A and B are shown apart, each in its own frame.
Chain A
Amino acid sequence: MSETLAIKNKDHFLAHFRNLDFSFDVDFSKTKREEAEKWVKKLDFPTSKTEYWKYTRVNKLIKGDYRMDFPEGEIDIDLSVPSKNCIVLVNGYFSKELSWFSAEKGVNFSSLSDAKENSSIIQKKFATLSKDQDEIFAAVNTAYHQDGAFLHLEKNAVASEPLYIIHISDSESALSNPRNLIIMEEGSEAKVVLKTISTQKGTSFTNMLTEVFVDRNANLEINKVQEEGEQDYQIACEQVEQKKDSHFKINTFTLNGALVRNNLNIDLLGEHTETWLNGLYLLQGKQHVDNHTHVFHREPNCVSHELYKGIMDDQSTGVFNGKVFVHREAQKTNAYQSNANMVLTDDATINSKPELEIYADDVQCSHGSTTGQLDEEALFYLRSRGMSEKSARAVLLNAFAADVVEHIGVESVKEEIEAFIDSHYQGIK
């Protein structure tokens, strides 16, 4: 792509934000927006030459025509969320009508804009993790985010039920920049479900960014379910910071979307932390899903487990790029990374790039990546037991995915994913 064309595309994309008015925003947030806007102007969109985006082209994303102004209207949707706490965002904006909370001691759950006005902790934390200076999509989100969810667990607070954050792309060609902030103070515990869905058939673009702080001894699990429409684009970034003795788990399920890119960056800042990163991507049609994960081991005695699995059908393309970085100080690190892929057709592609970058010697680090097909013998065995080929395949694909699904700590989400896999591969009940 020529340079002038790149500039033209960038201008086209940024024009969407030209008339946005953020004068209502609080001062510290305005300052952050201004800083980020400078980076937006300075940075370029990734091209095929950008190593970090090697397998994913963003051209069609930035060339699209979007809208960001929406009349406040009601949408008719039954979310059937089995929880007492749910924040719903529609096209990037907070929807008061669809959201509901029940007060729980030490658990502050609200929209980001509410929190900006009422909470003092947000000033210290907001936009301190997002890599606005490196990633243009992060900078765009900081500069032009509309609203998002804010979750703050006070010291030793425990959320008794899972907390839902649901983003709905409700309008064709909606461009949303939802922004979430999760702060887990010392010893707190919570489970979060972060879901993106779509109620329209057109092409929307959701550029979501979530900052997560997990303080000492805190325990957080995020279940991320991406189920937008088959025309929709999504870039989702989670920036996580873990302090001493904390536990963090994130399960990413990519079930639909035309182009989905996940950037998951986890910084381990204290000793004895434990981290799990699991992912499952089930692709079909012409879907393109790109999972980038980055785990920084900066302190000794930390453990990270990574397991990503994918099934590529039709003409879909899956990308996995996982990086484990072990700093010189991070002795006694245990880091495991595993990526398994199944390619079901000759038109599907998988690009896998598991990376290790290690500067400490007393470590146990390993990674593995496999690409293959259903085991013919296993298929034969099941068929010899009277199963149709379809059911036999479904059973095996289910089993393949089960390793990841079993990590889900929220029962309702687990059931939902299992049901999805069953119907997706049309297996037996």
Chain B
Amino acid sequence: MASEEELLEEITSSEYKYGFVTNIESDKAPKGLNEDIIRFISAKKNEPEWLLEYRLKAFRNWEKMEEPDWAHVNYPKPDFQDLHYYSAPKKKKELESLDEVDPELLETFEKLGISLDEQKRLTGVAVDAVIDSVSVKTTFKDKLAELGIIFCSFSEAVQEHPELVKKYLGTVVPPGDNFYAALNSAVFTDGSFCYIPKGVRCPMELSTYFRINEANTGQFERTLVIADESSYVSYLEGCTAPMRDENQLHAAVVELVALDNAEIKYSTIQNWYPGNKEGKGGIYNFVTKRGLCMENSKISWTQVETGSAVTWKYPSCVLKGDNSVGEFYSVAVTSKHQQADTGSKMIHLGKNTKSTIISKGISAMQANNSYRGLVHISKNATNSRNFTQCDSLLMGNNCGAHTFPYIEVKNKSSQVEHEATTSKIGEDQIFYCKQRGMDEETAINLIVNGYVKEVLNQLPMEFAVEAQKLLEISLEGSVG
């Protein structure tokens, strides 16, 4: 990494040059990060001035920040000057139908088991597939458009609905929120945008599949979901990544806004490449996810985390409106050398607000799995209620499971409960299953499935099936 002074000089000198460096012609920005790169990204995407300002503001914030190290994870710190911050697939013409998609890309999708057309036909799920930062394909858009629902790539939203983006971008996760959120705000290339108009109940599950394609490209997704008054949406996010030997950085930001009486259900399955048996390679997943709840609204996060070498993720709810509800259901599985530090934050600001946190951690082989959560009940959040349960299951004596809950209560009428247990699978349970003719692996799968059922039940049907399979694969070979 360039020394601090060099960097500073580079930045201060570049500030005088108005505009961006024009000698960058390729679809891939050169390695490194400075204001010129940000101007380049912004220009490539043909963004309005206010968005560029937003990015630059975030970048200046980011420069002053230090990479956090309080999480219970160990990893070599990424070199932020050694990454490409922008890359686009070769063909970036607007596509109307599936036929126009590069067959090679389609093939990759098939390999990943995400057949776009099959999904389209069989499940009625609208899929917005993102490959390396630029949206390639959006389906079901017309059908949704009839209802006034906007579901498109983020860059499209910037072009077509700038007033909505401008109004809500950064309202839940401000550009200076934390190190990775600031970085994302500065360099995000694309993502998904969703707007549900007043009183509309979205008729289908909206879904985005992410993958990381090109080597050395940090992915900085930006998702913004707005549910206007009395609307409802269920949003699915699932991720896969091909085998890779080099650590990859992923720092996404997801912002949810649930206006009065609205409900957002946000489900995630994350199974990025976790690294090989020795713990080499794998994705770094440093995500900021936060939802804002206005009066009588509800945001529910459900996540199944099985992938990534290092996960650092705390989906949160800011319960600002009275009577709003926040929920968090999570299954985090770590195996091999995976490390996860994940949990939820529930910030109670409004009266009669309620939140539930159910977190199930499974740790196997050499993995470390931490739950870190915050429940904050402010003085005005009278009659608020929180229930937190975080259980950890340990498999093998080289793994670790940890619980770090923070509970802050500032009034007399609220009730907060937290409970956590850590144990291994009971030998008597396994014995019982084996006695009924199951082998040990099947028995463990059965018990694990029972253990996480509470969370999987929250997932939409198709996802639940996939999640269950995923758990089995993730824990393969960790028994015995």
Chain A positions near chain B (C-beta within 8 angstroms): 51, 328, 331, 341, 343-373
A366 x B421 contact (CB < 8 A): yes
B400 x A358 contact (CB < 8 A): yes
> Cβ of B70: which chain A residues have Cβ within 8 Å of it?
51
Task: Take A353-B407, A355-B403 as given contacts and tell me if A372 and B415 are in contact as well, using a CB distance cutoff of 8 Å.
Answer: yes
Which of B70, B403, B408, B415 is the most central at the interface, judged by chain A CB atoms within 10 Å of its CB? B403
Given contacts A346-B382, A351-B409, 6 further A-B pairs with CB under 8 A are A343-B414, A353-B407, A354-B420, A355-B405, A356-B401, A368-B417
- In the complex, how many angstroms separate the beta carbon of A379 from the nearest chain B beta carbon? 14
> Cβ of A341: which chain B residues have Cβ within 8 Å of it?
409
A352 x B407 contact (CB < 8 A): yes
The answer to whether B422 has its CB under 8 Å from any CB of chain A is: yes
**A346 interface neighbour in B379, B394, B397, B419, Cβ under 8 Å:** B379
> Cβ of B417: which chain A residues have Cβ within 8 Å of it?
368-371
Residue of B nearest to A335 (CB): B422
> Cβ of A331: which chain B residues have Cβ within 8 Å of it?
397
B409 x A371 contact (CB < 8 A): yes
Report the bound CA distance from A338 to B393 in whole Å: 20
B397 x A371 contact (CB < 8 A): no
B422 x A356 contact (CB < 8 A): yes
Report the bound CA distance from A10 to B399 in whole Å: 42
> Cβ of A373: which chain B residues have Cβ within 8 Å of it?
412-413, 415
Residue of B nearest to A355 (CB): B404
- In the complex, how many angstroms separate the beta carbon of B225 from the nearest chain A beta carbon? 32
> Cβ of A362: which chain B residues have Cβ within 8 Å of it?
397, 424
> Cβ of A328: which chain B residues have Cβ within 8 Å of it?
397-398
B399 x A361 contact (CB < 8 A): yes
Produce 1/0 per residue, B414-435, CB < 8 A to A: 1111111111100000000000
> Cβ of A345: which chain B residues have Cβ within 8 Å of it?
412
> Cβ of A367: which chain B residues have Cβ within 8 Å of it?
403, 418-420
Residue of B nearest to A345 (CB): B412
- In the complex, how many angstroms separate the beta carbon of B406 from the nearest chain A beta carbon? 5
A359 x B400 contact (CB < 8 A): yes
Report the bound CA distance from A51 to B399 in whole Å: 25
- In the complex, how many angstroms separate the beta carbon of B404 from the nearest chain A beta carbon? 5
Task: Take A343-B409, A350-B409 as given contacts and tell me if A371 and B403 are in contact as well, using a CB distance cutoff of 8 Å.
Answer: no
Report the bound CA distance from A153 to B201 in whole Å: 75
The answer to whether B281 has its CB under 8 Å from any CB of chain A is: no
**B419 interface neighbour in A351, A366, A371, Cβ under 8 Å:** A366
> Cβ of A344: which chain B residues have Cβ within 8 Å of it?
412
Residue of B nearest to A333 (CB): B422
Within 8 A of A (CB), among B53-97: 70
Task: Take A345-B412, A357-B402 as given contacts and tell me if A368 and B407 are in contact as well, using a CB distance cutoff of 8 Å.
Answer: no
A350 x B379 contact (CB < 8 A): no
**A368 interface neighbour in B410, B415, B418, Cβ under 8 Å:** B418
B412 x A346 contact (CB < 8 A): yes
Task: Take A361-B394, A363-B422, A366-B422 as given contacts and tell me if A354 and B405 are in contact as well, using a CB distance cutoff of 8 Å.
Answer: yes
- In the complex, how many angstroms separate the beta carbon of B415 from the nearest chain A beta carbon? 4
A371 x B415 contact (CB < 8 A): yes
A354 x B415 contact (CB < 8 A): no
Report the bound CA distance from A312 to B394 in whole Å: 37
Report the bound CA distance from A366 to B423 in whole Å: 9
The answer to whether B396 has its CB under 8 Å from any CB of chain A is: yes
Residue of A nearest to B371 (CB): A356
A364 x B423 contact (CB < 8 A): yes
Residue of B nearest to A366 (CB): B421
B402 x A348 contact (CB < 8 A): no
> Cβ of B411: which chain A residues have Cβ within 8 Å of it?
343, 346
- In the complex, how many angstroms separate the beta carbon of A308 from the nearest chain B beta carbon? 13
- In the complex, how many angstroms separate the beta carbon of B317 from the nearest chain A beta carbon? 19
B418 x A354 contact (CB < 8 A): yes
B412 x A353 contact (CB < 8 A): no
The answer to whether B392 has its CB under 8 Å from any CB of chain A is: yes
The answer to whether B395 has its CB under 8 Å from any CB of chain A is: yes
A351 x B407 contact (CB < 8 A): yes
- In the complex, how many angstroms separate the beta carbon of B332 from the nearest chain A beta carbon? 15
A361 x B397 contact (CB < 8 A): yes
B407 x A371 contact (CB < 8 A): yes
Report the bound CA distance from A352 to B420 in whole Å: 14
Report the bound CA distance from A132 to B51 in whole Å: 52
> Cβ of B423: which chain A residues have Cβ within 8 Å of it?
363-365
**B408 interface neighbour in A349, A354, A361, A365, Cβ under 8 Å:** A349
Report the bound CA distance from A51 to B70 in whole Å: 9
- In the complex, how many angstroms separate the beta carbon of B69 from the nearest chain A beta carbon? 11
- In the complex, how many angstroms separate the beta carbon of A206 from the nearest chain B beta carbon? 28
- In the complex, how many angstroms separate the beta carbon of B187 from the nearest chain A beta carbon? 27
Report the bound CA distance from A346 to B378 in whole Å: 9
- In the complex, how many angstroms separate the beta carbon of A55 from the nearest chain B beta carbon? 8
Report the bound CA distance from A349 to B414 in whole Å: 11
A350 x B407 contact (CB < 8 A): yes
Report the bound CA distance from A359 to B421 in whole Å: 14
- In the complex, how many angstroms separate the beta carbon of A14 from the nearest chain B beta carbon? 29
Could you jot down 18 A-B contacts, CB within 8 Å?
A: A328-B398, A343-B410, A344-B412, A346-B413, A347-B379, A350-B409, A351-B406, A351-B408, A352-B409, A352-B418, A358-B392, A358-B402, A361-B424, A362-B397, A367-B419, A369-B416, A369-B417, A370-B418
Report the bound CA distance from A350 to B418 in whole Å: 14
Report the bound CA distance from A368 to B410 in whole Å: 19
Residue of A nearest to B422 (CB): A365
B422 x A349 contact (CB < 8 A): no
Report the bound CA distance from A246 to B382 in whole Å: 46
Report the bound CA distance from A219 to B404 in whole Å: 32
B418 x A369 contact (CB < 8 A): yes
- In the complex, how many angstroms separate the beta carbon of A52 from the nearest chain B beta carbon? 12
**A353 interface neighbour in B398, B405, B424, Cβ under 8 Å:** B405
- In the complex, how many angstroms separate the beta carbon of B354 from the nearest chain A beta carbon? 15
Report the bound CA distance from A354 to B405 in whole Å: 6
> Cβ of A349: which chain B residues have Cβ within 8 Å of it?
408-410
3 pairs of A and B residues whose beta carbons are closest in the complex: A361-B394, A352-B407, A371-B416
Report the bound CA distance from A369 to B373 in whole Å: 13
> Cβ of B400: which chain A residues have Cβ within 8 Å of it?
357-359
Report the bound CA distance from A366 to B389 in whole Å: 11
A356 x B403 contact (CB < 8 A): yes
Report the bound CA distance from A369 to B405 in whole Å: 10
- In the complex, how many angstroms separate the beta carbon of A361 from the nearest chain B beta carbon? 4
Task: Take A354-B405, A368-B418 as given contacts and tell me if A348 and B399 are in contact as well, using a CB distance cutoff of 8 Å.
Answer: no
Report the bound CA distance from A345 to B379 in whole Å: 10
Task: Take A51-B70, A356-B420 as given contacts and tell me if A361 and B395 are in contact as well, using a CB distance cutoff of 8 Å.
Answer: yes
